[in-house]
């Protein structure tokens, strides 16, 4: 990849972080991107904090070795469990997905009551609840473990997925949170379900996509990385993308396209040694 434009390294345990990359391509087209999916070691949600932190730091160092000038931790579990460790180990600025999502929710809500849906690991960490409460908001977190496999199956508009989502959201908005006016998508798989969730969620609820919020946070810092000599012609050229995965590159191309919304043709296999 050309060194003339800054490389943003994007890290996830698998495919969901490609929704963050999709948002980045729309908001920060002046960058080059290196995406690392640790597909051989997912899911992170069933692993200990120490293990997640070790994996995430390894990924951060790998992306830095590829020339990344900023790291985006496009994984809610890694952000929730290991952001401090990643920031300490990295030599470049690091942006996670939790704080941008919480900040966007604080702007969107009128009555200061927010529901967060996410994976079991993210909800158990209470990272979103803490970030929202720090902003003076009331927060209800709801784990929705069936949604990720349904998305990866491609069932984003299936009646089964809609029924499951209705059950989860009915529980999330019960017991004093029926009037919560904002819902945060605390998992990077969930943007693919946004049309379905819009139908299922109460009509008065605003939906905050943490992938979009993270891209906006990156955009606000990106200009600082641009070299003074960067030409307008260079900035207008299409972003260059490079993909790395620790498991099947064929599967990454096939499944990743659903999340990115673009064909993925060249993926390099990486074996990060334990």
Single out the residue of 2, 24, 27, 26 nearest to residue 12, CA to CA.
24
**Interior angle at CA 129, CA 126 and CA 134, nearest 5:** 125
Distances in Å between the alpha carbon of 206 and those of 24, 109, 203, 257? 21, 8, 8, 27
Which residue among 75, 87, 144, 253 is the active-site one? Answer: 75
- Mapping DSSP onto H, E and C, the string for 145-192 reads CCHHHHHHCCCCCCHHHHHHHHHHHHHHCCCCCCCCCEEEEECCCHHH
Give pLDDT tens digits along the chain (274 positions).
445 689 999 999 999 999 999 999 999 998 999 999 999 998 888 889 999 999 999 999 999 999 999 999 999 999 999 999 999 999 999 999 999 999 999 999 999 999 999 999 999 999 999 999 999 999 999 999 999 999 999 999 999 999 999 999 999 999 999 999 999 999 999 999 999 999 999 999 999 999 999 999 999 888 888 766 555 555 556 678 999 999 999 999 999 999 999 999 899 999 986 5
98-108 and 210-222 helices cross at what angle (nearest 10)? 100
Catalytic residue chosen out of the listed positions 87, 144, 187, 253 = 187
Same domain assignment for residues 85 and 16: yes
Task: Please indicate, yes or no, whether residues 131 and 103 belong to a single structural domain of this protein.
Answer: yes
Judge whether 20 lies within some domain.
Answer: yes
Residue 2 lies in a domain: no
Per-residue pLDDT, 237: 63
Examine the domain organization and report whether 167 and 262 are in the same domain: no
- Final residue before a domain boundary, out of 210, 228, 249: 210
The confidence score (pLDDT) of residue 5 equals: 86
Query: pTM of this prediction?
Result: 0.93
What are the two backbone dihedrals, phi and then psi, of residue 193, each rounded to the nearest 5 degrees?
-100, 5
200 and 234 belong to one structural domain: no
CB count in 10 Å sphere of residue 229: 7
Within-domain flag for 56: yes
Where does residue 77 rank: exposed (0-12), middle (13-18), buried (19+ CB within 10 A)?
buried
End-of-domain residue from the set 160, 183, 210:
210
The CATH number assigned to the domain holding 65 equals: 3.40.50.1860
Q: Is 144 a residue of the active site?
A: no
Closest CA to 201 of 174, 165, 226, 230: 165
* Contact of 29 with 221, CB cutoff 8 Å: no
Indicate if 182 and 203 belong to the same structural domain.
Answer: yes
* DSSP helix/strand/coil, 210: helix
| 112 and 186 housed in the same domain | yes
Burial 143-177 (b: 16+ CB within 10 A, else e): bbeebbebbbeebbeeeebbebbeebbeebbeeeb
Residue 111: domain span: 98-210
Single out the residue of 209, 258, 244, 252 nearest to residue 27, CA to CA.
209
**Does one domain contain both 105 and 205?**
yes
Both 108 and 189 in a single domain?
yes
In a domain, 274, yes or no: no
The C-alpha atoms of residue 112 and residue 32 are separated, in whole angstroms, by 37
Distance CA 157, CA 145 (A): 17
Specify whether 197 is located in the same domain as 117. Answer: yes
Same domain, 206 and 102: yes
78/188 Cα distance (integer angstroms): 12
DSSP conformation letters of 22-62:
HHHHHH-TTSEEEEEE-TTS--STTS-HHHHHHHHHHHHHH
Number of domains in the chain: 2
> What's the order of all strands across the beta sheet hosting 182-186?
138-143, 113-118, 182-186, 206-209
**Nearest alpha carbon to residue 123 among 174, 182, 184:** 184
Is residue 187 flagged as an active site residue? yes
């Amino acid at each position: 990849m050309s060194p003339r434009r800054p490389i943003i390294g994007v890290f996830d345990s698998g495919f969901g972080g490609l929704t963050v990359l999709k948002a980045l391509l729309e908001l920060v087209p002046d960058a080059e991107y290196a995406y690392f999916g640790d597909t051989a070691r997912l899911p992170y949600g069933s692993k200990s904090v120490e293990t997640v932190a070790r994996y995430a730091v390894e990924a951060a160092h790998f992306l830095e070795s590829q020339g990344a000038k900023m790291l985006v931790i496009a994984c809610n579990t890694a952000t929730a469990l290991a952001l401090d460790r990643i920031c300490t180990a990295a030599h470049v600025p690091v942006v996670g997905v939790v704080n941008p999502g919480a900040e966007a929710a604080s702007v969107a809500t009128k009555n200061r009551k927010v529901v967060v849906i996410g994976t079991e690991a993210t909800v158990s960490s209470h990272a979103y609840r803490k970030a929202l409460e720090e902003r003076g908001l009331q927060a209800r977190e709801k784990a929705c473990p069936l949604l990720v496999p349904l998305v990866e199956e491609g069932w984003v508009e299936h009646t089964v997925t809609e029924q499951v989502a209705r059950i989860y959201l009915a529980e999330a908005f019960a017991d004093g949170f029926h009037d919560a006016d904002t819902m945060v998508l605390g998992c990077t798989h969930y943007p693919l379900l946004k049309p379905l969730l819009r139908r299922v969620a109460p009509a008065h609820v605003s939906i905050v996509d943490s992938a979009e919020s993270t891209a906006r946070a990156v955009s606000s810092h990106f200009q600082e990385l641009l070299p003074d000599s960067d030409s307008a012609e260079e900035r207008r050229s299409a972003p260059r993308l490079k993909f790395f995965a620790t498991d099947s590159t064929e599967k990454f191309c096939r499944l990743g396209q659903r999340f990115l919304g673009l064909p993925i043709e060249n993926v390099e296999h990486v074996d990060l040694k334990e």
